[in-house]
A = this chain, B = another copy of it.
Amino acid sequence: MLTLYDNLGSGNGYKVRLLLTHLGIPFRRVDKSVTNGETRLPEYLRVNPNGRIPAVVFDDGRTLAESNAILLYFAEGTLYLPTHKFARAEVNQWLFFEQYSHEPYIAVLRFWRQYLESLTAIQEARVSELLEKGHAALKLMDDHMEKRQFLVDERYSIADIALYAYTHVAGDGGFDLAPYANLRAWLARVQCVPGHIPIDRECGP
């Protein structure tokens, strides 16, 4: 059975849990703390040399890391990835946007506020920058969703899964979603997709 190295609080882990649950693929979840250093221990670095969750280990021992690469792997050939080449390119565009222009601000501020006992002086000094850049990402998404139901091709896909993961808990990082009506409607729409599970729900067989 597939093994998922995961953390129940992690949006990056949640993306994979949510897709595997939609697809009905059974998996064994191994929870790793993201604060006590256990993802940097030699045992785990053999799974993912980059020392991060999520990572999956297949029955034959092969491993795959990077949440969005894992989404692409399992979504291929399913309803959750468009077949049209340009629509797939747009999904990829959103996946890279998420990791470069969204997660480093929205997920990082949430991590700082939810997981750390206190911030360093440098972190304190960066809060306003992260809020500004995170809001820029949310505004871009809100504008994009003005006349759309889902991010790409008017169908729920792994682009929605990847962006939903940290957007719906952006409040934990201090982001007020009140100004983003289109975004809030989209969050509600994602929550209504059949088979949806919340971020902290332990799944698998």
Contact = CB atoms under 8 A, between A and B. Distances in A.
A82 to B, nearest CB: 13
A60 to B, nearest CB: 10
A69 interface: yes
Interface in A66-124: 66-70, 72-73, 76, 85-86, 89-90, 92-93, 95-97, 99-101, 103-104, 121-122
A144 interface: yes
A48 to B, nearest CB: 10
A87 to B, nearest CB: 11
A126 B129 CA distance: 13
Given A49-B144, A73-B89, A101-B50, A66 B125 contact: no
A83 to B, nearest CB: 12
B66 A93 contact: yes
B76 A93 contact: no
Contacts of A95: 69, 96
Contact of A99 (B62, B73, B96): B96
Contact of A76 (B76, B85, B90): B85
A157 to B, nearest CB: 14
B66 A92 contact: yes
Contact of A49 (B76, B90, B121, B140): B140
A49 B122 contact: no
Interface of A: 49-50, 62, 64-70, 72-73, 76, 85-86, 89-90, 92-93, 95-97, 99-101, 103-104, 121-122, 125-126, 129, 140, 143-144
Given A64-B90, A67-B96, 12 more contacts: A49-B140, A62-B86, A65-B93, A65-B97, A66-B96, A69-B95, A72-B89, A99-B99, A100-B100, A100-B104, A121-B125, A125-B125
Q: Which 10 A-B pairs have the closest CB atoms?
A: A69-B92, A66-B96, A69-B93, A73-B89, A66-B93, A99-B100, A122-B125, A49-B140, A72-B92, A69-B96
